[in-house]
Amino acid sequence: MSRAPKAEARHAADSHDLIRVHGARENNLRDVSVELPKRRLTVFTGVSGSGKSSLVFSTIAAESQRMINETYSAFVQGFMPTQSRPDVDVLDGLTTAIIVDQQRMGSDPRSTVGTATDANAMLRILFSRLGDPHIGPPAAFSFNTASVSGSGSFTVERGAATKAEKATYTRTGGMCVRCEGRGSVSDIDLAELYDDTKSLNEDPFTIPAYTGDGWTVRVIRDSGFFDPDKPIAEFTKKEMHDFLYKEPVKVKIQGVNLTYEGLIPKIQKSMLSKDRESMQAHIRAFVDRAVTFTTCPECDGTRLSAGARSSKIKGVSIADACSMQISDLAEWVGGLEEPSVAPLLATLRHTLDSFVEIGLGYLSLERPSGTLSGGEAQRVKMIRHLGSSLTDVTYVFDEPTTGLHPHDIQRMNNLLLLLRDKGNTVLVVEHKPETIVIADHIVDLGPGAGSAGGTVCFEGTVEGLRASDTVTGRHFDDRAALKETLRAPTGALEIRGADKHNLRDVDVDIPLGVLCVLTGVAGSGKSSLVHGSMPRDAGVVTVDQTPIRGSRRSNPATYTGLLEPVRKAFAKANGVKPALFSANSEGACPTCNGAGVVYTDLGVMAGVSTTCEECEGKRFQTSVLEYTFGGRDISQVLAMSVAEAREFFAAGEAKLPAAHAILTRLDDVGLGYLKVGQPLTTLSGGERQRLKLATHMGEKGGVYVLDEPTTGLHLADVEQLLTLLDRLVDSGKSVIVIEHHQAVMAHADWIIDLGPGAGHDGGQVVFEGTPAELVAKRSTLTGEHLAAYVGA
């Protein structure tokens, strides 16, 4: 009788199947302990601000990256960002973490989709090898490389003899000389820069930061090139040239050596060299008012020199290739067969196919990377990981379905499963039920947000989550019903002949006085229609997805302008200067300079921050804290939550209507739990967007345009958002929402659906009408998905 072979004992190396986290306390986490299975897809859910990002990004991914950095030599570490160890007791079983987040890609005007993904670099090599006529190396096709030439002589010493040798140097670049590789030239309206009836002494400038007593104006006024009492309109031709266009020259003003430069080049360097999206709001408003950007007439917007555009492969220049839709470019590259560059063609083909696979085939390589939405930027970053042969790494995603139409979510799910099935651990922070459903393991954080969150409410499978009594479990199968009573429009915003990007001469009337939702697959032309084709005089207030910029000294009080009335009220009540009540000004604690913490630089190791002993983290001088308003000092006011502060400033001796109005708006958008003085750097993506929305709600304007306001919002928070949108419309505003979330579509009074596809397959209005009509017709992709969602 033969015996069955004995089962082999499990190898010790195969026993490490878990990532163990014990006692995590980053930000608002409260001693969180979880065990995450490796080589599985784990989804983290919970309301916005519950601690998902703190656990996934600030603890697990941050520690993985820190430990990898520590494997390099001390010399190399000196050039890398130093990271401190997360506040956690045990982190076990970590693997290399690759973070694919929603940070906007560089907003440099010269950064494009092609340069960000290396597709341009491969195209440049291709054209330098196969292009006819041959014009030079790959740099000759780069719009970031200028052509340079020079000649001269240099002396060579050999033994006792010296010999002069001549040399010439040339480098052929592909940059267009006129626009310097930007693709557009700017034309400045002088009437928006200054009032020419005034003299320099009469503060004539209407440019931000050009105030009467500032150094900028003083250099112009005291440069000696003009009479400061003479109205600008009476300047001679030479004075006008010096005023507007003079090259930089050194001048001495009150014993200080300074540089004087003409107004136009000064504005071009200080303001126009930046991308519009990265400007501060008031500078952006000035640039929009004073500057018109027109396509460069020399290169026709291609950014490339005539030489680079003249070299072609099969009748196509590199400029033509970059302007093609990527799905078309992939086909064109697929048709090229040249053994000498076969490996290059294979890699380029794979990169371009990845774009199509991930749902970005509608982009073109020339598209500026600063114009991509958060979701598009994240998917562009994914491209370099799709063909990677790395396995057993941890991929960390931050809401990968952001900006995706329900039709595209299935494709994203397949990509996440593909990465998992290659043997990787995939960690995803997500709110969409369509993605939560495919998880092998779920961690639900909460129960609330901010200080009310930070604990694990549920850990297990999708079925377990549905049956659990957590906020996510209760709302998991929520489906908004179609609205029964619809508002009647009070007018219409007429858009005629819109042709920006892929729009095909679109004529549409956007109804006013109602909640209007603009939808369609990603890349169908929604943003182009709203942001690029709106009449300038429509009084539109836009709340887009650009991230809030702010250091750890910025907080909701400084960002919303709340601190201004509060400081003035404290100053008035105590008869002192308002500057004393700012931690960034005179009232700051001298030891920590108002930061509340003291940083100790430990060289190569990560610096350590400790609470300041002098002010105990309150950020103010002790003498300032003796002044009170309504029985509280300034640090106590900043430590209040929004809801507490709203009550505090509502009535009694602390009544302050200006502050109360701002706090009410913050509470309305669901941020009542935030501390008024909490640093902006600790806020989640969803919280930042709502903070932005609350700020814009105070602006005067009849039409609000919201770009995907459900980004980063939990299912339970979407309900609150809909209530807020209703309140805005009922107060007489017109609200236009660009949105993919079916609950928002179902709640709309009017829907405009763009499509039918993306890129050149889109750009048309495929449906206009009520949500009920869209569901009944099911004539578009959106109609089909909305019908399935409402169960029609």
Intervals of the chain under pLDDT 70:
1-8, 104, 106-107, 274-278, 602-607, 792
Q: What is the DSSP letter of 425?
A: E
The dihedral built from the CA positions of residue 584, 589, 593 and 598, taken in this order, carries a sign that is negative
What residues contact 401, with CB distance under 8 A and at least 6 apart? 375, 409, 412, 430, 432, 434, 435
Cβ atoms of residues 108 and 380 within 8 Å: no
> Quick one: three-class SS letters along 752-785?
EEEECCCHHHCCEEEEEECHHHHHHHCCCHHHHH
Residue 107: the pLDDT is 65
pTM: 0.83
Q: Which of 110, 107, 111, 144 is nearest to 279 (CA)?
A: 107
Token duo for residue 774:
């869209």
Strand pairing category for 41-45 and 425-429: parallel
* CA 578 – CA 585 distance, rounded (Å): 10
Q: 């494997």: which residue's tokens?
A: 71
DSSP string, 271-331: IITS-GGGS-HHHHHHHHHHEEEEE-TTTTTS-B-HHHHH-EETTEEHHHHHHSBHHHHHH
* CA 598 – CA 616 distance, rounded (Å): 11
Q: What's the gap between Cα 180 and its chain centre?
A: 26
Residue 353: the pLDDT is 93
Residue 698: the pLDDT is 78
Q: 């609350």: which residue's tokens?
A: 694
Token duo for residue 767:
């449906």
Residue 403: the pLDDT is 83
- CB atoms near residue 411 (< 10 Å): 12
